Amino acid sequence: MPFRIPARTLWQASKGSMKPYSFAPINSKTPQWTRRYAASSTEPPTRTAIVTGSARGIGKAIALRLAQDGYDICVNDISANKTQAESVVREIQQLGRKAIPYTADVSQLSEVQSMVSVKALLDLTEHDLKRMFEVNVYGVYNCYSTAAKQMIAQGTPGKILGAASIVAFKPFALLSHYSASKWAVRGLTQAFAMEVAEHKITVNAYAPGIVGTAMWDLIDEELGKKQGAKKGDTIKKYSEELIALGRTSVPEDVSNTVSFLCSKDSDYMTGQTIVIDGGIIFT
């Protein structure tokens, strides 16, 4: 489960400066849905991606992979992660791509901590549930709608990606509100895909499984407290018993899939939530 808050959403853009929230898809001067594979004497158009929550973990891996794919990157995260975001910007610049940091809380909450509430369903408070949906659902909606409106205004096609989770397919104990929020992300992805298809915009989501990040360390610790397990035992147990490939995922497993979803090879995909979990959920 990619327990990373705030939710990561990727907006794909091109042809322009690195100003945050300036959205335009790949090959914006090309007629809609026309592909050109022949070599050209002119330089390819600038491709830009805004990656939210990209100061660390999966978001960072996605930002670096897209930079390697030739994108200029806007590295977005909350103010608490500003230093880490600036470090990611420097890494991207060392790859020869343009990058800028941009501090913004996509959920519009005044205070969003990078933490996960691990509670039994009957122990949840109304605040727990509201906060989870503000971050994971409202945050994704804000990103999807802002990107889509700008692309429509510019009259150009593009791609929007959101972060779901394997719990968008099967809930996990003690993570019921997180699971419910990710089911909502999956539903929003399908609904947006239907409504913006006429504008030649695709909307998909990626659903990681158990990922070896700092966030999972917190999940492992909190679940261990509930279950009386030592630190590290929960993730080990889950990896051995749940994952067919027998290992915990790394952020690069996810960023490789996101790279595909950003490429022309996925042009005919929309409304899909792609699972990358090593074989926990089979769709």
Based on its alpha-carbon atoms, the radius of gyration of the chain, rounded to whole angstroms, reads: 19
Three-state DSSP class for residue 271 = coil
- Answer yes or no: are the C-beta atoms of 248 and 276 closer than 8 Å: no
Give φ, ψ of 205 to 5 degrees. -135, 155
Cα 85 to chain centroid distance, Å, stands at 15
C-alpha angle 197-14-269 in degrees, rounded to nearest 5: 30
The verdict on whether omega for the bond into residue 25 sits within 30 degrees of 0, i.e. cis, is: no
Active site residues: 178
Which tokens in the block code for residue 198? 């006429």
